Amino acid sequence: MRDYISIGSTPTGEDCAQIGSEDYYEQTRKEQRAFINQLKRVLGEPPCGAHLASKTFDHDFGTYHEVVCYFDEGNEEARDYAFKLEGEAPEYWDELARKELEEAGYVWRKPAKTTQ
């Protein structure tokens, strides 16, 4: 059976695009692409039975998007990877993610913090 764990839209210590802003969809897509790439760099590629993707959720204020890890519940390696992402996701953008966002024309809400 397939399940998923929500990881977030950006690293927890960073600002993210806000639902209702006119550029929300464009900005959140850039954030999530960079976040998925950073997660793979920091915590490894998903094993067979797991994959990272953007998922749409409904909210009182509109539709929002988050990075999730889909995984096969019967696959211990895939399940462990999903829980590792949930518990060990980076708190801030790394230099490569910042560069990716800047090259994509990302609009910074406030200066990003970085890790080495």
Give the tens place of pLDDT for each residue, 2-58.
999 999 999 999 999 988 888 999 999 999 999 999 999 999 999 999 999 999 998
pTM value? 0.90
Residue 8, strand partner residues: 67
Task: Answer whether residue 24 is part of any domain.
Answer: yes
Query: Tokens 């760099």 sit at which residue?
Result: 41
pLDDT of 116 > 80? The answer is no
Task: Answer whether residue 46 is part of any domain.
Answer: yes
Task: Answer whether residue 77 is part of any domain.
Answer: yes
Q: Which domain holds residue 46?
A: 2-103
CA distances for 103 relative to 50, 98, 100, 106, angstroms? 28, 9, 5, 7
Task: Answer whether residue 13 is part of any domain.
Answer: yes
Task: Answer whether residue 74 is part of any domain.
Answer: yes
CA distances for 10 relative to 29, 50, 54, 94, 98, angstroms? 11, 19, 11, 12, 12
Task: Answer whether residue 111 is part of any domain.
Answer: no
Task: Answer whether residue 19 is part of any domain.
Answer: yes
Q: How many domains does the chain have?
A: 1
Give the tens place of pLDDT for each residue, 52-78.
999 999 877 778 999 999 999 999 999
Task: Answer whether residue 113 is part of any domain.
Answer: no
pLDDT, position 12: 95
pLDDT, position 111: 54
